[in-house]
A and B are shown apart, each in its own frame.
Chain A
Amino acid sequence: MPETKDEERSSRRTFMALTAAIGGLAACESGTEAPVAGGPRHLGSTISPYSERSKYETTTRFMPATKTPEQASSRTPLQELQGIITPSGLHFERHHAGIPDIDPVNHELLVHGLVDRPTIFTMDDLKRLPSVSVVRFVECSGNGGSEWTAPGSTTAQLAHGLASCSEWTGVPLRVVLEELGVQPEGRWIYAEGADACLMARSVPIEKAMDDALLAYAQNGDALRPAQGYPLRLLLPGYEGNTNVKWLHVIKVTDQPMMTRDETSKYTDLLPDGKARQFTFDLDAKSLITSPSGGQKIADLGFVEIRGLAWSGRGLIERVEVSVDGGETWADAELEGPLHPKAFTRFRLPWHWDGSTAVLLSRATDETGYLQPTVDQLIEARGKNSNYHNNSQKSWTIAADGSVSNA
């Protein structure tokens, strides 16, 4: 930056002289009196009530083939996205009985059970209550489930796209529960959605009183229908299934209700036939999104290694990256501001010399927990636990620059 007005003026003059010279040169070469900057030009399209993305942008969620698309999941293209916010239209989906069509005027939340004042709230009622906005990830605990035995999926999206991150706005559930008066025997809440199967989960009262949110907005806008419009439970850092969408009932109870999705599903089977239950927390995880599976490094030389890290237990404190399959590690730069239980973007400059390489990352969160290898997870849990695979993820770079999951 120039220090004084004079310097500024003189540098501007130099710049203008240079442009004139280049312009003159171009005119000389073409030998015509070209109109300024290649005109005349067509007018662009008009203002509109709602923006679509450019027609040249085509990235989409991945939808696996299924006979029951209402009971299915779609995956976020993590390798195509920048920063830490997932556009609402690309947030991963997991539904058990389709997306209900709910007019918010008719939507109500009943909060009852072991409370002094059971109450019904309309959406207008809820929005009047003190609200907060927070950046938080949501991840299905089945994310990475295909990677237990061998690296199976070809891209970051296929391997780990059941995770997304948004700014959520809503009323802290604590505000509502304190307002209604939780009785001393109230140890759990039961949360139920208004989808066709009335999907339901039980959650410890401690979580409900901590950072649980009755969320009505996502990235500044109303929730998308696929994310629970008009109201969802947001339980930061807890497995996705507990973040009940289309929320219409909360019941304070003295015990978990042992619903299907907290017994038959979302429990982690161990080699001795026992299963871990109420495995809520999503442990620290990281993933290199570029270069990642299915991509190709364009040329030798500078490559910015980019990725995402997140932990259900708080802030990401450190991400290390290896380009030699885990022999040596370098600290990546974490891009602030950092949010707890949110995607954290990391970057590391690298020089690719054209040789084959194995890239991987490992995150440490504020509890000191270090993202494990898949072998460490298998050592602790065997191969049948299905959920909660937060192991380190490697990508192999071939001599031609192509990247694969191996």
Chain B
Amino acid sequence: MLNSFRLLALAALSLPVLAQSPTYHVGRAATPADIAARDITVGPDGTGLPAGEGTAAEGAVVYANRCEECHGPEGRGADQGGFIGKPADLLGDSPKKTVGSYWPYAAPLWGYVDRAMPFDRPGELTRDQVYSVVAYILHLNGLIGENDKLNAETLPKIQMPNRDGFVPDPRPDTP
């Protein structure tokens, strides 16, 4: 109500049409450079993945130095969860959700490690280091070889075992 009233009032004043924010004339245009500097999204299809490259062999070193203290040796879990598994781990009374058992897409794993890990200093790793440590986690799950090069082209092609593991929300689901 109020909004449409204000819109009408503004229209009645016949303000000139402005390039930005036509009705309220607030904010400033975001330039492609502004957007490039802030946009870190990585889509499930790999859009947004930056240049860079790494292998599991290189990632093992990154992992030992910056991940192992919390996630345990060879991704087996410690204070924080491990990364290795297969969809069958999701069955039974104590299911285990891991990168190997649960994550539906590979590219967002890059996006997550890039933005959020290592937990105590996120943003510390170079792009190559993120590619290599992600390669290491995928290799631990038997999804790529130790010397396969992971980059913006190869990463999205990796089919995660639980790719088809998700269903839409059917609720309400009780009588």
Q: Which residues of A contact B42 (CB under 8 A)?
A: 257
Chain B nearest CB, measured from A99 CB (Å): 15
CB within 8 Å of A: which B1-59 residues = 2-3, 6, 19-24, 26-30, 34-35, 38-44
Contacting pair B3 A175 (CB below 8 A):
yes
Q: Which residues of B contact A273 (CB under 8 A)?
A: 87-88, 90-91, 95, 165
Contacting pair B3 A172 (CB below 8 A):
yes
Chain A nearest CB, measured from B108 CB (Å): 5
Contacting pair A179 B22 (CB below 8 A):
yes
Known: A97-B122, A129-B24, A197-B115. A274 touches B165 (CB 8 A): yes
Chain B nearest CB, measured from A250 CB (Å): 11
Most buried by B among A97, A175, A263: A263
Query: Does A71 make an interface contact (CB < 8 A)?
Result: yes
Contacting pair B28 A264 (CB below 8 A):
no
Query: Does A376 make an interface contact (CB < 8 A)?
Result: yes
Query: Does B116 make an interface contact (CB < 8 A)?
Result: yes
Contacting pair B27 A257 (CB below 8 A):
no
User: Which one, B132-140, B144-152, B166-174, is touching chain A?
Assistant: B166-174
Known: A130-B2, A277-B169, A279-B169. A120 touches B28 (CB 8 A): yes
Q: Which residues of B contact A121 (CB under 8 A)?
A: 26-27
Q: Which of B29, B43, B122 is within 8 Å of A119, CB to CB?
A: B29
Q: Which residues of B contact A348 (CB under 8 A)?
A: none
Contacting pair A255 B44 (CB below 8 A):
yes
Q: Mark A25-43, 1 if CB is under 8 A from B, else 0.
A: 0000000000000000000
Q: Which residue of A lies closest to B115 (CB)?
A: A198
Q: Which residues of B contact A125 (CB under 8 A)?
A: 26-27
Contact count band on B:
35 or more
Query: Does B105 make an interface contact (CB < 8 A)?
Result: yes
Give the docked Cα–Cα distance between A140 and B115 (Å). Answer: 23
Query: Does A258 make an interface contact (CB < 8 A)?
Result: yes
Most buried by B among A132, A259, A273: A273
Contacting pair B175 A376 (CB below 8 A):
yes
Q: Which residues of A contact B30 (CB under 8 A)?
A: 110-112, 118-120
Chain B nearest CB, measured from A52 CB (Å): 33
Q: Which residues of B contact A47 (CB under 8 A)?
A: none
Known: A97-B122, A119-B30, A258-B108. A283 touches B6 (CB 8 A): no
Q: Which residues of A contact B109 (CB under 8 A)?
A: 260
Contacting pair A384 B20 (CB below 8 A):
no
Query: Does A358 make an interface contact (CB < 8 A)?
Result: no
Most buried by B among A179, A249, A281, A379: A179
Query: Does B111 make an interface contact (CB < 8 A)?
Result: yes
Q: Which of A67, A132, A264, A369 is within 8 Å of B97, CB to CB?
A: A264
Q: Which residue of B lies closest to A274 (CB)?
A: B167
Query: Does A241 make an interface contact (CB < 8 A)?
Result: no
Give the docked Cα–Cα distance between A280 and B29 (Å). Answer: 32
Chain B nearest CB, measured from A374 CB (Å): 10
Contacting pair B88 A130 (CB below 8 A):
no
Contacting pair A198 B34 (CB below 8 A):
no
Q: Which residues of B contact A279 (CB under 8 A)?
A: 169, 171
Q: Which residue of A lies closest to B48 (CB)?
A: A257
Contacting pair A260 B112 (CB below 8 A):
yes
Q: Mark A245-277, 1 if CB is under 8 A from B, else 0.
A: 000110101011111100110010111111111
Contacting pair A278 B169 (CB below 8 A):
yes
Chain B nearest CB, measured from A261 CB (Å): 9
Q: Which residues of A contact B90 (CB under 8 A)?
A: 269, 273, 275
Q: Which residue of A lies closest to B40 (CB)?
A: A198
Q: Which residue of B lies closest to A256 (CB)?
A: B44
Contacting pair B87 A369 (CB below 8 A):
no
Contacting pair B20 A119 (CB below 8 A):
yes
Q: Which of B44, B88, B170, B172 is within 8 Å of A258, CB to CB?
A: B44
Q: Which of A67, A277, A283 is within 8 Å of B79, CB to CB?
A: A67
Most buried by A among B22, B41, B123: B41
Give the docked Cα–Cα distance between A319 and B30 (Å). Answer: 49
Which residues of B are in contact with A by a Cβ distance under 8 Å?
A: 2-3, 6, 19-24, 26-30, 34-35, 38-44, 79, 87-88, 90-91, 93, 95, 97, 99, 102-105, 108-109, 111-112, 115-116, 119, 122-123, 165-175
Please list the 9 inter-chain residue pairs (A to B) with the smallest Cβ-Cβ separation, ordered nearest first. A197-B116, A372-B174, A118-B30, A119-B27, A277-B166, A258-B44, A273-B90, A260-B112, A198-B115
